[in-house]
Amino acid sequence: MVTKRKLKKEDLFKIQSITNPQFSPTEKEAVFLNTFIDEKEDQYFNHLYYVNVDSNEVVQWTFEKERISNPKWSPDGKQVAFISNRNEKNQLYMINKSGGEAKKITDLEEGIQSFLWSPCGEKIWFTSSLKEGATFAEKVKKEEEKEKLEAYTVHKMRYKMDGVKGHGLVKQKVSSQIGFVSLKDNSIQQFTEGKDSYSLNDISPDGKKLIIGIKHHDQPDYEFNNRLFIVDVETKNRTVLVDQEGYYGGAKYSYDGRYIAYVGSDATYKNATHSNVYIYDTETELTQNLTESIDSPVGDYAVADVQQGVAAPDVVWTKDNDLYFQLSTTGDVQLYYASLDGAVYPATPEGEHAYDYAIYKNGQIALVCVSNPVSPGELYKVDIAKGERNQITHFNDEWLEEVELVKPESFYYTSTNDVSVHGWLMKPSQFKDGEKYPLIVEIHGGPHTMYANTFFHEMQLLAAQGYGVLYVNPRGSHGYSQTFVDAVRGDYGGGDYEDIMAGLDEVLREHSWIDAERLGVTGGSYGGFMTNWIVGHTNRFKAAVTQRSISNWISFFGVSDIGYYFTPWQIGADMTDPEKLWHHSPLKYANNIETPLLILHSELDFRCPIEQAEQLFITLKSMGKETSFVRFPDNNHNLSRTGTPSLRIERLTQIITWFKNYL
């Protein structure tokens, strides 16, 4: 028997991410994307792959160092169009199934955001950004034609966003518009215009109608509606599909054109509201909530750190007007089937993360990208009726044969107020009975996300370093019930804190191998807030690492890109009640902190701006506390998931070193 080696932080460079499966019109062929990290270039690249669905033969189609997204077959199945940044801007490309190099189709100033083939196959609809007064006729500017620096005048609170290049400032006087390119001569025509922004959801089977989303340019700061309309291509007349407070999108026509399915949630519980699948009947003009009876959210709310470029469809129709969609429930992300008469049931097994998928027109066969706690993910062909599956891709097989991984143990326990909480416990790699091991508690962000039965490189790395790892879904996590996910709002540091500590107490009672004198805690975003809160309220932990955290709700209100509305949504107060904001701020309890605390933060994080870390660090240092502060340049809030690869490795190095020094 060959002894496997322990996982290393550099294994992040070896893990490959399989996403975006797309059936051809004949359903005998498909394409998908494989994303990997180029260690030398310190970047993410991906390639387009072809698969023969009958033989499972896989062939690489593209070889450029580029990022590809959104591959889509032409209606005749002879070509595949996709978006690529091979020439810096995201533009539309097309490759022939018969072979040859991909052909560039667009050369737009702001590049392409999304696209859809027209059913006729003669044109492609797309969305792209436009400056006020500009047209799609303008070409990409050369380097020497870049604009000079200009002052940025702010009139609204929604003026910046995490992840936007530069300083997070949203481009002013820029809107998203819809156009189409004729494939006969690559000529482009603009369909929408003006100051409002438009998104393209779907095209009717006859090509005569579009489903578009509209965001008005003068939308108030506290209005978050995404209006959906059915638009006649010839007359441009609009019919309202949904125009109410909430978040709606992913609209898709049924094959016969009668029904439109879309996913969304109202604003009853603000951003904690469960998403549902809605069906609009174009004949009766009535809408039904197809998943109203399910107390779990539609969609994928799992947190992980290896899947790259996932673009799972919100809903997929079958020819018989049945549907498939993802559902997040009790730590699983499964495909679910639904019929218009109300039947709803799972189509994939429990215990895994089905993170991307495509469905046969008859609904019987699926291509599903699946991960679980000991597999980063591969593409599988699934016979839904028989419950059988065959693995198509094997990109991570060789690595899995080489590295020892730890399978987490799932468990439930009772917290305060008889609340049932779900969690996982990982033993250290190469665990030996009779020995004592330190334990690290991991806390997810959100808070309205969930830990899941999916692969997590960071968890496996900690286990490989000789730590037990505990991670739970406290109140506020998705996947359990509407009451459960809403329970954290207005109670940050209350029931959620009790749930985490109750989980720790549970594993200490049940597992004698855990050394109660060597406990660590870490988390990012909301998990960073909770790490700060925990060390300010207990000295049980001997080391802590807080990442991209919130420390002061008063300043967060004004500096975060979402602070002015997220704060009242989550804490239940704004700047008219600074006492409540301060009560829930970990900075208030800094003098209680005795745990050595490492503070990690990205300099271009505009979700939880770095000043949150700066305040905490300077405060602790001024009080003579044991702390250190690490800043990561040129990265945003998503450093741990999609950040610069070398800095992701440095982040892991910092975490490991801190725990090694203090545990």
Residue 272, φ and ψ in degrees, nearest 5: -100, 0
Rounded to 5°, angle at Cα 326 from 321 and 329: 130
151-159, Cβ contacts within 8 angstroms, sequence gap of 24 or more: 156/221, 157/221, 157/564, 158/221, 158/561
Residue 452 CB-density burial (10 A; 0-12 exposed, 13-18 middle, 19+ buried): buried
- The encoded tokens of residue 4 equal 């496997």
Which amino acid is residue 276, in one-letter code? N
Taking the C-alpha atoms of residue 570 and residue 631, their distance in angstroms, rounded to an integer, is 27
Q: Which residue among 525, 585, 602, 640 is the active-site one? A: 525
The SS3 assignment for 287 reads strand
**Residue the block writes with tokens 């855990």:** 514
- Active-site annotation holds for 114: no
Residue-wise burial string across 73-95, b where 16 or more C-beta atoms lie within 10 A, e elsewhere = bbeebebbbbbbbbeebbbbbbb
One DSSP character per residue, 2-49 reads PPPEEP-GGGGGT--EEEEEEE-TTSSEEEEEEEEEETTTTEEEEEEE
Q: Where would I find the H helices in 344-481?
A: 397-402, 457-464
Taking the C-alpha atoms of residue 439 and residue 423, their distance in angstroms, rounded to an integer, is 14
In 489-624, beta strands by DSSP E: 514-524, 543-547, 597-602
Q: Would you give the DSSP letter of residue 88?
A: S
Contact 449, 301 (CB under 8 A): yes
Residue 304, φ and ψ in degrees, nearest 5: -155, 180
Taking the C-alpha atoms of residue 567 and residue 576, their distance in angstroms, rounded to an integer, is 12
In 360-419, beta strands by DSSP E: 365-372, 375-383, 388-391, 403-404, 409-414
Residue 498, φ and ψ in degrees, nearest 5: -65, -35
Taking the C-alpha atoms of residue 326 and residue 313, their distance in angstroms, rounded to an integer, is 9
Q: Would you give the DSSP letter of residue 639?
A: H
| Distance, first Cα to last Cα, the chain | 33
- Active-site annotation holds for 415: no
Which amino acid is residue 467, in one-letter code? Y
Catalytic residues: 525, 637
